[in-house]
Amino acid sequence: MKQFLVCTIALVVVNVLQAQVDFNNYQSLRSQGAVPADFSTATQQKIQQADKERLDDLSPKKRELFVEQVNYTIDGLLKSGLVTFGDPVSLYLQRIGDRLVANDESLKGKLRFYTFNTNEANAFSTDQGMVFVTTGLIAQLTNEAQLAFVLAHEIIHYKEKHVLDLFDYTTTSSGLTYNEKVRFFSKYSRDNEFEADLNGVKL
C-alpha cells in the first residue's frame, strides 16, 4: 500500500511538472503563412470591388457611404495587430465554418474566419464575409458544439444581411476603440438575433 501511495504521488508530481513546462513554453497567437487578401488589399480597391448587389435595400447614396465606412472600419481592425490569420485557432475556426456551410452552395468558399485577440467575449460577421471570434469568447466555451453554434449564428447574420440594420452606426463609428467597435458590430435587433439563433441551431 505504501509503495502504491509513493508511486501515485510521484505520478502527480511528474504531471504537475510537465504542465508547468508546457505553461512556461506558452506562445501567444501569431499570424502565419501567406497574407490573406482581406489584409493586403488596399481599402480603396475593396470599396471599388464591393458586392453592391448585397446592398439593394439601401439607396444608392447610402450604399456608397455604407461600403466606404464599413471597409475603412474593418481595415482599421485588420491592421490593428489584434487580428491573426493562419494561427491554429483561426484555422480551427475556418475548418468548423467550412463544415457548417458545406451543403450551401451560396456560401461555400465565401466566408473567412479570424481570431480577434481581446478579452472581450464576442463574435461578429461583416458584409464582406469575414467572421471574427474573440479569444475572450473562445476561453469561455467548453466544447466544439458551442463554438459551432456561435459560428452558425454569425453565418446567419451574414447570409440574411443583418449588418445593413447597423447602417446608422457603421457610418458614424469614428473615434471608438476597437473593443467598442466590436460591441456595436454585434448589436442587432431582437428579431435579427432571434432569426440568427433559430437558423443557427438548424445549421
pLDDT in tens, 125-153: 988 999 999 999 999 999 999 999 999 99
Q: The domain that contains 83 carries what CATH number?
A: 3.30.2010.10
d(CA 151, CA 131): 8
Q: What integer pLDDT is reported at residue 138 of this predicted model?
A: 95
d(CA 104, CA 84): 26
32, three cell numbers: 502565419
Q: Do residues 178 and 118 lie in contact, with contact meaning Cβ atoms separated by under 8 Å?
A: yes
Determine, yes or no, domain membership for 19.
Answer: no
**Mean pLDDT value of segment 3-11:** 45
In total, how many domains does the chain have? Answer: 1
Determine, yes or no, domain membership for 58.
Answer: yes
Location of C-alpha cell 439593394: 56
Q: What integer pLDDT is reported at residue 53 of this predicted model?
A: 76
More confident site: 65 or 192: 65
Determine, yes or no, domain membership for 103.
Answer: yes
- CA dihedral for 188, 189, 194, 196, sign (positive or negative): negative
Determine, yes or no, domain membership for 10.
Answer: no
Q: Domain of 154?
A: 41-202
194, three cell numbers: 432571434
More confident site: 33 or 199: 33
**pLDDT tens, position by position, 82-117:** 999 999 999 999 999 999 999 999 999 999 999 999
Determine, yes or no, domain membership for 31.
Answer: no
| Cα Rg, the chain, nearest whole Å | 21
Determine, yes or no, domain membership for 132.
Answer: yes
Q: What integer pLDDT is reported at residue 10 of this predicted model?
A: 45
Determine, yes or no, domain membership for 187.
Answer: yes
Residue 16 clears pLDDT 70, i.e. is over it: no
Determine, yes or no, domain membership for 14.
Answer: no
**Mean pLDDT value of segment 38-49:** 94
